[in-house]
Structure 1
Amino acid sequence: METRTALVTGAAQGLGQEFAVALAGRGYRVAGLDLVPQRETADRIVDYVELVADVTDETQVGGALERMLEQFGTLHVLVNNAGVYPESAFEDTTPEEWRRVMRVNLEAPFLLTRAVLPYLKAAGWGRIVNIASAAVLTAPPTMVAYTASKAGLIGFTRALASALGPCGITVNAIAPSMVRTETAERTVGADGGFEHVRAQQAVPRTQEPSDLVSTLLYVVDEGSGFLTGQTLNVAGGSAYL
């Protein structure tokens, strides 16, 4: 069987880094794309392509993909993980901030998917995984822009699955709760966010990046070709689909 290749966005730290490491451990060749260098991730993966680019910039995305293909030659899996989640009252959200959230969380997956699609089609096999959020179900009042962007990502996942099924490409989303990452610790975690979310969960502990790894590996597995258009809610029972 051909060695599969995966591209993970937001791979410098946190959930993206754990996804990249897990895929490498499963035998994938892995490239990571982030706005910053990914030295720590590269140190954990033997055969790793580090791509520094802005996921909201179509030209930079195209250039990064070309660099990856120069080394790997093909692509089979895309994990749209990069995202931002500012927390503020709705009336304090400026149009500029709203557009930034939409660009990173919704437009970037569109740009990445559009760029990689010819290579997934050429391979005749593909998996696209979008990292959504349980916030779509719990609707936190201070994360209106974020929740709207992730709801859009779920709609994108469903419609794209219908479009790409005939090509042997599945499209699914994973919806975590609040995951303990460096960014979350620095932002929402500093104001008691983890404690608030834990109180809403059936599983009374903070979600770690490792809690999402097995779900990702299941979604991209060779045997998961009949799973598409779905959102897997991996959020400790904070909400139920």
Structure 2
Amino acid sequence: MDWNISLNGETALIVGGTRNIGLSIAEAIKGAGANVCIVGGSDYSVMKTALSQLEKSNGQSMGLIADISDENAVSSAFQECEEKLGPVSILVNGPGFRPHGPFTDITLDTWNAVMSIMLTGPFITSRELFRRLPQNRKGAIVNIGGLSAHRPAKDRAHVIAAKAGLTGLTRALAAEGAGRIRANCIVPGLIDTQRKPDQPQAKYSDEAANAPGTCEDVSRVVLSFSSPQDTYVTGQTVHVSGGRYM
């Protein structure tokens, strides 16, 4: 049995693919032979850096700045990606927007902004894939969930609600796409990424692994779920957390 994953002939659109876990996912999928389009929010310099990193491997890649909470912007992004790279058959939803703050200080505007990016956005992009995927093709959606949706914490009620909603959306997408489009959710644990100077070092004492994970730990699982060979797993939420959640 051949366990090598080949994505030759596939095109992947990766939301949040400009840095850290998202960029690692883009590199893994492109390394397996797929054409890759990464979508970022507004930082052109970060996009430029990410594309230069992707260009080190074979295959085609491109980057787009788009507001995934805007239906027209998402439709335009898919259209441009299709024109340059071919029909999108793999969608990874991993937008990053996690403002923290006391529950009583969360404004309705902040709540709506988080929901718009982290839950409405994946709904819009997933719906676009369903609408555009050719009838003779099969597809895969991988949503990037959040550990806090399974281990709630203070000061992030809006983020927890959005990520919990994403697991429900994943199951709904699996049901809607039965036999044609698979949908799964990956929940990273404490991953060693580029932290801001004012962010505290995470503690790993409650993990079975007792160590941080890497972006590659996550991207390997996403790569597997993106493969056309992985036909019998859908509607699942898989934790890549070193045992932080069991």
Which consecutive unaligned segments of at least 5 residues does structure 1 have?
A: none
Answer yes or no: is 1:138 the counterpart of 2:151.
Answer: yes
Amino acid at match of 1:41: A
Query: Are residues 1:232 and 2:238 paired?
Result: yes
- The correspondence of residues 1-241 of structure 1 with structure 2, limited to 5 A, is 3-35=9-41, 36-37=43-44, 38-46=47-55, 47-166=60-179, 168-182=180-194, 185-186=195-196, 190-192=198-200, 194-195=202-203, 198-240=204-246
CA distance, structure 2, for counterparts of residue 156 and residue 122 of structure 1: 22
Q: Deviations over 1:65-84 (max 9, x none)?
A: 11111112211100001121
The runs of at least 4 aligned residues of structure 1 exceeding 6 Å deviation read none
The structure-2 alpha-carbon separation of the partners of 1:229 and 1:34, relative to structure 1 and needing over 3 Å to count, comes to same
Secondary structure of the corresponding residue to residue 50 of structure 1: strand
Is this contact kept in 2: 1:135–1:177, CA < 8 A?
no
Partner SS state of residue 133, structure 2: helix
Q: Distance in 1 between matches of 2:28 and 2:8?
A: 18
Calculate the TM-score normalised by the size of structure 2: 0.89
Contact kept? 2:186, 2:238, Cα under 8 Å: yes
SS in 2 for 1:65: helix
Deviation at 1:2, TM superposition (A): 6.1
Taking only the aligned residue pairs, the percentage that are identical comes to 28
After superposition, the Cα gap between the structure-2 partners of 1:201 and 1:215, relative to the gap in structure 1 and judged at 3 Å, is: same
Per mean C-alpha deviation after superposition, the further-off stretch among 91-100 and 227-236 is 91-100
Which amino acid in the other structure matches residue 235 of structure 2?
Answer: G
Equivalent pair of 1:158/1:171 in contact (CA under 8 Å): yes
Partner secondary structure for residue 175 of structure 1:
strand
Q: Residues 39-68 of structure 1, C-alpha deviation per residue, up to 9 Å, x if partnerless? A: 122112232111111111212111111111
| CA RMSD, Structure 1 to Structure 2 (Å) | 1.7
CA distance in 1, matches of 2:188, 2:147: 6
Please report the TM-score for the alignment, with normalisation by the length of structure 1.
0.91
After superposition, give the CA deviation of every residue in 1:76-132 in whole Å (9 maximum; x if it has no partner). 100001121112221121111111111111000011111121232434200000000
Whole-angstrom CA distance in 2 between matches of 1:202 and 1:86: 28
Count of aligned positions: 233
SS of 1:124 mapped into structure 2: coil
Amino acid at match of 2:162: S
Distance 1:101 1:163 in 2: 25
1:114-169 Cα distance to aligned partner (Å, 9 max, x none):
11212324342000000001211111122211111100000000111011113x11
Which structure 2 segments of 5+ residues have no match? 1-6
- Asked if 2 retains the 8 angstrom alpha-carbon contact of 1:21 and 1:41, the reply is no
User: Shift in Å at residue 217 of structure 1?
Assistant: 1.2
Greater fraction of residues in helix: 1
Deviation at 1:224, TM superposition (A): 1.2
